[in-house]
Amino acid sequence: MRRTLPPGRWLTAIGCLAFLAAGACREVQDAWVWPPDTAALVEGQPITMTELNQVLGWGLYGQLTPEENAPATEAVPLLVLEKLIEERLVLAEAPRRKISLEALEKGISRPPEEGADSDLPPAQAESLRRNLLRQAVLHKITGRIMAEERQLSAADWRTFWRAWPKKKPIRYRVRALFLPPSPEAPALPGRGQEGLDQLTQRFKLEGFPVVLSAAVWLRSDRLDETLTATLETAWADKKLSPPVRQEGSWAVYEVLDLDRETAAVAELKAARAAYEFKAGEEAFRGWLSTRRATADIRINPSLTKPLE
């Protein structure tokens, strides 16, 4: 007579079979042999030991021989491998962000300068060139991720504007005539409406070693109050400044132009760019943390030693 198991025992039997199957799978997984020359697998794609050793020797630690690199702590290979894993995750974003790696490399690559790396063996020179190209491509993709992932709300911009200093710097376009060090301020012969070029020639004819600078822009927020007041007076009177002591020597200033607005705009643009970059960095770190948590990353057990 045919016998059947009660429903409860069927469930027990199925559970036992599942447990045995899981154990068998675990034994097969534990017995899995890593492919040769493989340091890690990122989404099924290998990072080779050769690549890891190459970056250890060239990419991060300069031109080191294996003997010079030997004293490095056990932590170093794992730290470099972590960077390579992050690089793979970033490179994998190219198609998702609609970035053509071929077009990117073509836009970055340029003919090597004549004589560049001529003292290196061809294989090492090519390795170094490819490494620099990889870093440039990674920089481009990282910039795209930063720009697309950062979220700047209206509240963020209000915070930025409130933090922006209300007093904007003034810029002075000046030339300076530097005079020899002396205990007392030198007398300026017949200043009047005389320009700095004429004054320079006068001093040179009298045998004084003087130096006339090119025109440069100076910002009021980087000058002391005395010099700022001197430049303001020189600009208002359209005359040369009196001699100003600077680190033991003396200087006479000619104010060629004054800018009370453009400096503020330039500073604002720089501050806004820095604010956006910081927000992009924070967004990138958040993206990378999430990406790593969801990615299939496997590290060769032979490299997972206790870090020092």
HSE-up of residue 292 (Cα within 13 Å, Cβ side): 12
CB of 299 within 8 A of CB of 84? Answer: no
Q: What is the C-alpha separation between 47 and 80, in angstroms, rounded?
A: 11
Q: What is the C-alpha separation between 98 and 198, in angstroms, rounded?
A: 62
Helices 262-294 and 154-163: crossing angle, nearest 10°?
A: 140
Of all residues in the chain, what percent carry a pLDDT higher than 70? 74
Q: Characterize the bridge pairing of strands 216-219 and 171-179.
A: antiparallel
CB of 48 within 8 A of CB of 37? Answer: yes
- State if pTM tops 0.85: no
Structure confidence at residue 183 (pLDDT) = 78
DSSP helix/strand/coil, 226: helix
Q: What is the C-alpha separation between 307 and 244, in angstroms, rounded?
A: 60
Q: Which residues contact 16 (CB under 8 A, 6 or more apart)?
A: none
> Which pLDDT band holds residue 192 (cuts at 50, 70, 90)?
low
Q: What confidence tens digit (pLDDT) does each residue in 79-103 have?
A: 888 889 999 999 888 888 888 877 7
Structure confidence at residue 281 (pLDDT) = 93
Pick the closest to residue 171 from 267, 236, 251 (CA basis). Answer: 267
Q: What confidence tens digit (pLDDT) does each residue in 223-269 have?
A: 998 999 999 999 998 888 988 988 778 899 999 999 887 767 777 88
> Which pLDDT band holds residue 59 (cuts at 50, 70, 90)?
very low
Among 13-22, 153-162, 163-172, 177-186, name the one with the lowest average pLDDT. Answer: 13-22
